[in-house]
Amino acid sequence: MINIPKGTKDALPQDSHAFLALEKKAREVARVFNLNEIRTPTFEHTELFLRGVGDTTDIVGKEMYTFLDKGERSITLKPEGTAGVARAYIENGMDRNASLPVKMYYITPVFRYERPQSGRLREHHQFGVELYGSPEPQTDAEVVQIAKTLMDTVGIEETKLFINSIGCPECRKLYNEALRNFLADNIESMCKDCKERYVKNPLRILDCKEEHCKEINKGAPKITEYLCEECKNHFEGFKKALDEVGIEYTVNPNIVRGLDYYTRSVFEFVTEADKLTVCGGGRYDNLVSMLGGKPTPAVGFGMGLERLMMIAERAGADLGKPNAPKVYIANLSDEQSTLIRKVVYELRRQGVSAECDLMQRSLKAQMKYAGRIGAEYVVVIGEEEAKTGECELKEMATGDVKKIKIEKLIDELK
């Protein structure tokens, strides 16, 4: 017996409809915000993530599924969606001015070698949004609106929006200094990762999940107090744009996000009860140029679909049902099976979902099966029906029976 790899999950046929329903809602929200889907490969050259996501991040430092392919190239399964989109954007010359802003979304599997625990998978799925070309803070707010609209559409009320600005590399230089000074006395007692971050990228320390580190971080200086004039104005503009459309938020200076490419606005939607981050995003104005494209401001988010599912279920969201046939056509004996198969094939070709026996079951067992799979109507075709061309259409919920010509079945059921 071979088991499923640690940290992965099957979506079984009786349950997968819920993911489909969420994805459908996400695509619908993308449609009204005028986004088109971008599909990029599941794997990329490892170099893309080293340069794009940054080698001081948890993702690149510890979590990537990286391997050499048979041509000795270093390949990595996507650990996030943004770097691949940026690569495609540059490679396909999407940066022509007239087509800006480019508004895209994706739904993709994401692979991270994490310690499996509640809410953490080694393969999860993300709905992500990417708006390229506009530096305006209204664009940051539009991206937040997309995430918020999706959560509203699903019926989720328990998440809170936290925002912050982590400024530009210039502001961050000053801030990193201040943070180092603040942490200097305590850094010895902090976790191994934080010690490393202290040297390479102190801002990342604020993202640490260790209790002791979190405690120390509570008194840290706030990055919002170290923003340059332009970044400060941008942050004000972001808040104003959220205020204008009535989106509530809390400024949380400890939100810094786990990826290196962020600049200025960052935000997260977090559940109140269990502090689960469902959606994280922000602005990354330097990503495209870091990857060799011409400087292009960009902003987006990634939303974890498994986490969205968890809270959608908690909220009692309507996530549909498995497919069930409109009609089950039972046979009394083998003689009618050719006729039935023809009728069922025709029904299906006309868009009516129909089912018949594939298991050589008795009539009684067929009826039981039809009930179990939730057929809306049942028809029994025996010798008599085959001869007269007339059958009885029974509605399962009410028990109502209607006499009808077999050839009229399609029109009736459509």
Looking at beta carbons only, is 102 or 278 nearer to ligand ATP? 278
Q: Does 282 bind ligand ATP (CB under 6 A)?
A: no
Q: Does 52 bind ligand ATP (CB under 6 A)?
A: no
Give yes or no for a contact between 127 and 105, defined as CB atoms under 8 angstroms apart.
yes
Site string for ligand ATP, 122-161 (x = CB under 6 A): --x-x-----------------------------------
Site string for ligand ATP, 71-100 (x = CB under 6 A): ---------x--------------------
Give yes or no for a contact between 302 and 280, defined as CB atoms under 8 angstroms apart.
yes
What is the CB neighbour count within 10 angstroms for residue 332?
Answer: 17
Q: Does 376 bind ligand ATP (CB under 6 A)?
A: no
Q: What contacts 44, CB < 8 A, 6 or more positions away?
A: 75, 76, 78, 83, 84, 87
Looking at beta carbons only, is 21 or 121 nearer to ligand ATP? 121
Report the run of H or E that residue 233 belongs to, with start and end. Answer: helix 229-244
CB of 234 to ligand ATP, least distance (A): 21
Q: Does 112 bind ligand ATP (CB under 6 A)?
A: yes
d(CA 356, CA 358): 7
Count of residues that bind ligand ATP according to CB under 6 A: 16
Q: Does 380 bind ligand ATP (CB under 6 A)?
A: no
Residue nearest to ligand ATP (CB): 304
Q: For the chain, what is the radius of gyration of the CA atoms?
A: 28
Interface residue with ligand ATP among 85, 121, 213, 309 (CB under 6 A) is 121
For 237, phi then psi, to 5°, come to -65, -40
* Positions 290 through 329 that interact with ligand ATP (CB under 6 A): 302, 304, 306-307
Query: What 8-state DSSP symbol labels residue 361?
Result: -
Q: Does 234 bind ligand ATP (CB under 6 A)?
A: no
For residue 42, CA distances in Å to 110, 119, 157 come to 8, 22, 32
d(CA 177, CA 195): 15
Looking at beta carbons only, is 121 or 156 nearer to ligand ATP? 121
Contact residues for ligand ATP (CB under 6 A)?
80, 112, 114, 120-121, 124, 126, 258, 277-280, 302, 304, 306-307
